[in-house]
A = this chain, B = another copy of it.
């Protein structure tokens, strides 16, 4: 893990914001590695991400002074240290392609996190979890047991000090109560190019409509189904030669790509949400 910190800011736009933040960082000894700003002129908002090395940096001093500055400038902000990898739990259903993909990416160092926990309402993933030395929990779900199952899942997340939940084709809708426990800390992949084909069986709907491109979308989960802030989308061309099963197969590749990119960016603190939108500092 690198010995760096990230500062994420959003606030009303005004003169001198970059100067104020970068000036204070310099004073405290920061060697800036990446700095990116964005203005939304329509909303009158300013966004900033700065990453710097912590060597020779006075973090407590910076924090103290920055708090005053941030309060004056009405900033929403957070400082994240990249010294500690976040702890990620993966929820999965019977389709394992995203899970297989994420676990290997993690193994070869693409994902800055630890994965202490896999949870599923099926048992298909158990052997794979064991192969990668990840704890596996089977929480079966029926319409009667759903509330109870979610309680159990939340307890598992809590016990494992989970920072982020990834729904890797989990196929179950989380209750608002569950979602509220992890605001903007649950990432889902939906197998369509949202907002097209919201809801169940999007590949079948795409096939019926006769579209020429299919897509997949990774997004934060909010209480409104399929309405959370979109993180990443991608598409692939299809033709009349493709049957529904071809769409499903081609779609799997998209799902892996958009979910893994979203996770990677989240773990590098590259994403800022505002309203239903995201700023991706790439």
Q: Give the interface of A toward B (CB within 8 A).
A: 15-20, 22-23, 25-26, 29-42, 95-97, 100-101, 104, 108, 110, 127, 131, 193-197, 208-213, 215, 229-235, 237, 239-241, 243-244, 249, 253, 257, 275-280, 282
- Assess the B243–A41 pair: CB atoms within 8 A: yes
Q: In chain B, what residue has the closest Cβ to A278?
A: B210
- Assess the A15–B26 pair: CB atoms within 8 A: yes
Q: Which residues of B contact A279 (CB under 8 A)?
A: 240
- Assess the A108–B97 pair: CB atoms within 8 A: yes
- Assess the A233–B209 pair: CB atoms within 8 A: no
Q: Which residues of B contact A108 (CB under 8 A)?
A: 95-97
Q: In chain B, what residue has the closest Cβ to A97?
A: B104
Minimal beta-carbon separation of A38 from chain B (angstroms): 6
CB pairs A–B below 8 angstroms (17 shown): A15-B29, A19-B25, A19-B26, A20-B26, A22-B22, A23-B23, A38-B240, A41-B243, A95-B108, A97-B104, A209-B230, A210-B277, A211-B233, A213-B215, A213-B233, A235-B235, A253-B257
Q: Which residues of B contact A229 (CB under 8 A)?
A: 210
Complex CA gap A209/B226 in Å reads 11
- Assess the B104–A243 pair: CB atoms within 8 A: no
Q: Which residues of B contact A110 (CB under 8 A)?
A: 249
Minimal beta-carbon separation of A272 from chain B (angstroms): 9
- Assess the B240–A280 pair: CB atoms within 8 A: yes
- Assess the A31–B19 pair: CB atoms within 8 A: no
- Assess the B280–A239 pair: CB atoms within 8 A: yes
Complex CA gap A215/B243 in Å reads 23
Q: Which residues of B contact A39 (CB under 8 A)?
A: 33-34
Tell me whether A240 and B26 are in contact in the complex, defined as CB-CB below 8 angstroms, given that A39-B33, A234-B213 are known contacts: no
Tell me whether A230 and B215 are in contact in the complex, defined as CB-CB below 8 angstroms, given that A19-B25, A243-B42, A282-B241 are known contacts: no
Q: Which residues of B contact A100 (CB under 8 A)?
A: 100, 104
- Assess the A30–B42 pair: CB atoms within 8 A: no
Complex CA gap A33/B13 in Å reads 10
Q: Which residues of B contact A212 (CB under 8 A)?
A: 230-233
